[in-house]
Structures are given as structure tokens and as C-alpha cells.
Amino acid sequence: MVAFDETDLGIEVAERTNVCAIVGLFCALIGLVVPALVFGAIGYVETGGREHETGSGLAVAALILGAIELIVAVLTAVIVLVTMR
């Protein structure tokens, strides 16, 4: 089986933004940490392997925001537990 894509046929393929990267960034912006990290990671991996797909910046933003939110949530939980003693 021979693999080929549309560019081998001379057909222009429009670049599109990765859906997982968009969903990851949306989740990070509304505060859903785990889906932001998961979709951000999936989007980053997918944009690296596909030529006509963009969105790696969105995926990285989702990963960074999700990580910051996770750190803030853990620190807040630790502070609350320490002050309740």
C-alpha cells in the first residue's frame, strides 16, 4: 500500500487549527485543569505530526495555563490545610 497525501497530487490543502489545541485552551481559560492538560498535550503532539495543521502555540498555552492553575490549586489546598490546624 502506497501512502500519499493531497500535496502529492498538486492539490492545495488549507491549513487548519487543531481542535484539541482549541479545546485545551478553552478548558484552561475556564479553569478545567485536567482537561486542559490532556487536550493541550494531545494537541501539541498532533500538530507536530501533521503538516497542514497549526495550533501548537495554543496547545502550549493550554499546557502552561493548566500547569499554573494546578500549582495554584495545590498551594491553596496546602495553605488551607496548614491554617486549619
pLDDT, one tens digit per residue, over 26-79 is: 999 999 999 999 999 999 999 988 888 899 999 999 999 999 999 999 999 999
Q: Is 59 contained in some domain?
A: yes
5 assigned to some structural domain: no
Residue 26's domain spans which residues? 16-83
The string over 43-68, giving b where at least 16 C-beta atoms fall within 10 Å of a residue's C-beta and e elsewhere, is bbebbeeeeebebbebbbbbbebbee
Task: Give 3's pLDDT tier (boundaries 50, 70, 90).
Answer: low
Q: Three-state SS across 15-83?
A: CEECHHHHHHHHHHHHCCHHHHHHHHHHHHHHHHHCCCEECHHHHHHHHHHHHHHHHHHHHHHHHHHHH
Task: Identify the pLDDT of residue 8.
Answer: 62
What's 10's DSSP letter? Answer: T
Model pLDDT, residue 49: 84
The total number of structural domains in the chain stands at 1
